[in-house]
C-alpha cells in the first residue's frame, strides 16, 4: 500500500519535474502570495509585474527573446522556500520577481541566494532583506526605515508648517498593528522621533484582528495626542477611523504608513467625509503630478484596459516600475548569469522623477535602491492626492481630520 503510493508519487513528481522549455524564451519566476490572507495585495502587486512584462514582450521581448512567467504561490515561509526551490530547480527560471510580503521574501531570498539565482524584490519593506550581505538580492522599493523616517520627518517638514506651529510643541503618538509590518515601521519611527527630538507621548501596539480599538483611542485622548502615526492594515484602519469619530477624538493630524490607508475600499468603508485630511506615506499613488512621475497615467490606462477596474492600490505601480527598471538591466546584461546581472544592475543609473513612480534607481552594494522615496499623500474629497514634496504635489496640504 505504502509502497504503491510512494511509487505513484515518485512517478508523478518525476513527470512534473521534467522541464518543458519553450524555445528561446526567458523564464522568470513570479513569487507572490496568491492565496490566503495576503492574497489581495499579493495579486495586486503581481499585476504590476504582469503589465511590465506584457509591455516588454509587445516591444520585442528581452533582446528578441520572449519572456515567459512561471507563478509561485506561497502563504507561509515554508511554502515560500518550497516555491523558490521549485522555481529555481524544476522550472529553472533565470530570475525571480516578488514578493509583497516581507516574511515570505526573507525566506525565499535565502533559497535564491544559495541557488545563485538573482532575486528582484519589488514590494517588501523589511530592511534586513537587503542587509544580510547577499549578492543576488536587489530591491527597488523603499524600506521600512525609509518609510518611518519620511513619516517622522513629514511631521516637522509638512505638518507643523501647515499648522503654523513648531514641531517640538506637538505631542506625537505612534500606534501600530503588531505583525511584522507594524512592528518594524514603528520601531524605526521611535528611533527617528528620538533622533530629531519630537515629543513622543504614546507607543501602542495592538492586534490587527482587534474588534475594538476604543481603549487605544481613549489612551490617545488621555495623552492629548496632536499627531497620530499609524501603521495598519485595512480592518484596523477602518475600525480606528470609525471609533475615533464616535469617541470624539480629533487630533490635528493622522498619518498612515501605507497599508490600509492607501486602499480605496478603506476610504469607502470609513466614508470620504471621515477620511478627509488623513495623511499617508506610501508607494506612489495615482493622483501624483505626472510631471514628477512620467508614465503614471499610461499605466492606469493599461491597467484598466486589462483588468477592467481602476488599480486597487499603489502596489501594482511600484511593482511595474521596479520590474521595468530591472528588465532593462537584464536586457543590458551580457548574459543571464548571476554575475552578469549583478554587473548590469550595479550599472543602473536612473534619475529621480523619470519613472512612473517618480523614484530613481541606483543600487548600493547590498542591492538596495537608494533613490526610492515615498511621497506624502492625503485623502481629499475621496481621492488620495500627493501633497509633499512640492514638485510631486497636486494639491495643498490640509489640516485636521474629518470634513467640517
Partner 1 sequence: MTVRVSLSEAPPAGRLAALMAWLGNPRVYTSLAALSLILVIPIVVDSPFIVHVFVTICVFAGLSTAWNIVGGYAGQLSLGHMVFYGIGAYTTALLIQHFGLTPWLGMWVGAAVSVAVSVFIGYPCFRLRGPFFALATIAFLEVVRLLAIHFHGFTGGSAGLIVPLKLGWAWMIFQDKINYLYIAFGLLLATLAVSYAIRTSRLGYCLTAVREREDAASAAGISNTDVKLKAVMISAGLTSLFGSFHAMYLTFLEPETMFSLANSVSIAMFALIGGLGTVAGPLLGTVLVVPIAELARGWLGASANGLHGFVYGVVLVLITLTLPGGLAGTFGPRVTALIDRLPGRRVAPDREAPALRHIEGTPGEPVLETRDLVMKFGGLTATDHVSITLRRGEILGVIGPNGAGKTTLFNQISGFLKPTSGTVVIYDAEGRPVTPARADEYARLGVGRTFQIVQPFGKLTVIENIMIGAFMRHTSVDDARAAALRIARLVGLLHVKDVEARNLPIGDLKRLEVARTLATEPSILLLDEVMAGQNQTDTQKMVELIRTIRDTGVTVIAIEHNMQAIMSLSDRIVVIDSGKVIAQGDPREVVRNRRVIEAYLGEDFVDAQGL
Partner 2 sequence: MDVLVQLILNGIMLGSMYAIISVGLTLIFGIVRVVNFAHGEFLMVGMYAVYLLSLHLGLHPYVSAVPMVLMLFAVGALVQRFIIQPLLGADEHIQIFATVGLSTALINLALLVFGADLYSVQAPGVRQPLSIGGYTVLHAQVVMLASALVLVAGLHLFMQRTPLGRAIRATAQNRNAAQLMGVRVDRIYVIAFGLGAACVGLASALISPLFPVTPTIGTYFVLTAFVVVVLGGMRSMYGAFLGAMIIGIVDSLSGYYIAPDLKEVVYFAIFILILIFKPTGLFGFGRGTE
DSSP states along 167-225: GGGSEEEEEEESSHHHHHHHHHHHHHHHHHT-EEEEEEEE-TT-S--HHHHHHHHHHT-
Whole-angstrom distance, CA of residue 135 vs CA of residue 128: 14
215 binds partner 2 (CB under 8 A): yes
How many residues does the structure list for the chain? 404
The cell 519553450 sits on which residue?
22
132 binds partner 1 (CB under 8 A): yes
273 binds partner 2 (CB under 8 A): no
> CB under 8 A: which stretch of 10-18, 223-231, 237-245, 287-295 binds partner 2?
237-245
Smallest distance from partner 2 to CB 208, Å: 10
By C-beta, is 36 or 382 nearer to partner 1? 36
Q: Is the peptide bond before 99 cis (omega within 30 degrees of 0)?
A: yes
Nearest to 379 by CA among 291, 314, 287, 245: 287
> CB under 8 A: which stretch of 84-92, 135-143, 260-268, 289-297 binds partner 2?
260-268
Alpha-carbon separation of residue 206 from 132, 188, 246, 397, 402 (angstroms): 29, 17, 19, 29, 23
Smallest distance from partner 2 to CB 270, Å: 9
What residues from 153 to 192 belong to the interface with partner 2 (CB under 8 A)? 178
The cell 504608513 sits on which residue?
257
Q: Which does 212 bind (CB under 5 to 8 A by kind): partner 2, partner 1, none?
A: partner 2
Candidates 54, 76, 153, 352; binder of partner 1 (CB under 8 A) is 76
Whole-angstrom distance, CA of residue 209 vs CA of residue 211: 6
> CB under 8 A: which stretch of 85-93, 159-167, 362-370, 386-394 binds partner 1?
85-93
Question: 75 is written with which cell numbers?
Answer: 502563504
The answer to whether 348 and 367 are in contact (CB under 8 A) is no
222 binds partner 2 (CB under 8 A): yes
Site size for partner 2 (CB under 8 A):
35
Smallest distance from partner 1 to CB 2, Å: 4
Bridge partners, 255 (sequence order): 229, 279
Question: 157 is written with which cell numbers?
Answer: 517638514
Candidates 22, 114, 310, 347; binder of partner 1 (CB under 8 A) is 114
Radius of gyration of the chain (CA): 22
Q: Which does 73 bind (CB under 5 to 8 A by kind): partner 2, partner 1, none?
A: partner 1
Whole-angstrom distance, CA of residue 355 vs CA of residue 397: 24
What residues from 340 to 399 belong to the interface with partner 2 (CB under 8 A)? none
234 binds partner 2 (CB under 8 A): yes
242 binds partner 2 (CB under 8 A): yes
Sign for the pseudo-dihedral over CA of 313, 314, 315, 320: positive
Question: 139 is written with which cell numbers?
Answer: 530591491
Smallest distance from partner 1 to CB 342, Å: 18
Bridge partners, 202 (sequence order): 173
CB within 8 Å of 87: residues ≥ 6 apart: 29, 31, 70, 72, 93, 96, 117
> CB under 8 A: which stretch of 79-87, 166-174, 250-258, 358-366 binds partner 1?
79-87
The answer to whether 138 and 119 are in contact (CB under 8 A) is yes
216 binds partner 2 (CB under 8 A): yes
99 binds partner 1 (CB under 8 A): no
Q: Which does 6 bind (CB under 5 to 8 A by kind): partner 2, partner 1, none?
A: partner 1
What residues from 165 to 224 belong to the interface with partner 1 (CB under 8 A)? 178-184, 187, 205, 207
| H or E stretch at 10 | helix 2-17
Candidates 73, 202, 343, 383; binder of partner 1 (CB under 8 A) is 73
326 binds partner 2 (CB under 8 A): no
Residues lying near partner 2 in the complex (CB under 8 A): 35, 37-40, 43, 178, 204-207, 209-216, 218-219, 222, 234-235, 238-239, 242, 245-248, 265-266, 268-269
Residues lying near partner 1 in the complex (CB under 8 A): 1-3, 5-7, 9-10, 12-14, 16-17, 34-36, 39, 43, 71, 73, 76-79, 81-83, 85-86, 88-90, 103, 106-107, 110, 113-115, 126, 128, 132, 178-184, 187, 205, 207
Amino acid at each position: 500500500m505504502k509502497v504503491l503510493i510512494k511509487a505513484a508519487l515518485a512517478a508523478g513528481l518525476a513527470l512534473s519535474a521534467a522541464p518543458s522549455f519553450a524555445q528561446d524564451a526567458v523564464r522568470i519566476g513570479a513569487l507572490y502570495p496568491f492565496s490566503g490572507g495576503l492574497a489581495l495585495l499579493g495579486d495586486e502587486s503581481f499585476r504590476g509585474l504582469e503589465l511590465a512584462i506584457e509591455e516588454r514582450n509587445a516591444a520585442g521581448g528581452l533582446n528578441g527573446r520572449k519572456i515567459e512567467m512561471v507563478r509561485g504561490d506561497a502563504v507561509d515561509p515554508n511554502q515560500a522556500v518550497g516555491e523558490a526551490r521549485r522555481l529555481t530547480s524544476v522550472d529553472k527560471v533565470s530570475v525571480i520577481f516578488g514578493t509583497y510580503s516581507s516574511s515570505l521574501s526573507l525566506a525565499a531570498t535565502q533559497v535564491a541566494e544559495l541557488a545563485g539565482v538573482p532575486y528582484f524584490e519589488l514590494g517588501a519593506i523589511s530592511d534586513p532583506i537587503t542587509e544580510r550581505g547577499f549578492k543576488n538580492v536587489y530591491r527597488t522599493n523603499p524600506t521600512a526605515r525609509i518609510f518611518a523616517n519620511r513619516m517622522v520627518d513629514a511631521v516637522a517638514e509638512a505638518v507643523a508648517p501647515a499648522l503654523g506651529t513648531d514641531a517640538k510643541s506637538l505631542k506625537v503618538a505612534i500606534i501600530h498593528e503588531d505583525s511584522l509590518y507594524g512592528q518594524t515601521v514603528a520601531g524605526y519611527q521611535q528611533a527617528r522621533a528620538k533622533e530629531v527630538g519630537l515629543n513622543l507621548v504614546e507607543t501602542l501596539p495592538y492586534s490587527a484582528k482587534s474588534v475594538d480599538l476604543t481603549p487605544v483611542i481613549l489612551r490617545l485622548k488621555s495623552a492629548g495626542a496632536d499627531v497620530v502615526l499609524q501603521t495598519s492594515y485595512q480592518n484596523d484602519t477602518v475600525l480606528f477611523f470609525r471609533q475615533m469619530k464616535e469617541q470624539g477624538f480629533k487630533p490635528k493630524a493622522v498619518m498612515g504608513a501605507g497599508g490600509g490607508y492607501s486602499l480605496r475600499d478603506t476610504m469607502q468603508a470609513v466614508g470620504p467625509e471621515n477620511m478627509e485630511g488623513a495623511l499617508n506615506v506610501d508607494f506612489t499613488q495615482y493622483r501624483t503630478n505626472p510631471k514628477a512621475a512620467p508614465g503614471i497615467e499610461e499605466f492606469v490606462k493599461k491597467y484598466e484596459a486589462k483588468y477592467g477596474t481602476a488599480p486597487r492600490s499603489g502596489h501594482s505601480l511600484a511593482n511595474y516600475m521596479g520590474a521595468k527598471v530591472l528588465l532593462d538591466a537584464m536586457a543590458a546584461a551580457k548574459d543571464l548569469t548571476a554575475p552578469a546581472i549583478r554587473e548590469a544592475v550595479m550599472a543602473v543609473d536612473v534619475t529621480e522623477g523619470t519613472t512612473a513612480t517618480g523614484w530613481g534607481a541606483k543600487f548600493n552594494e547590498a542591492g538596495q535602491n537608494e533613490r526610492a522615496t515615498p511621497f506624502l499623500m492625503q485623502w481629499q474629497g475621496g481621492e488620495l492626492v500627493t501633497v509633499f514634496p512640492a514638485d510631486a504635489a497636486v494639491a495643498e496640504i490640509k489640516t485636521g481630520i474629518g470634513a467640517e
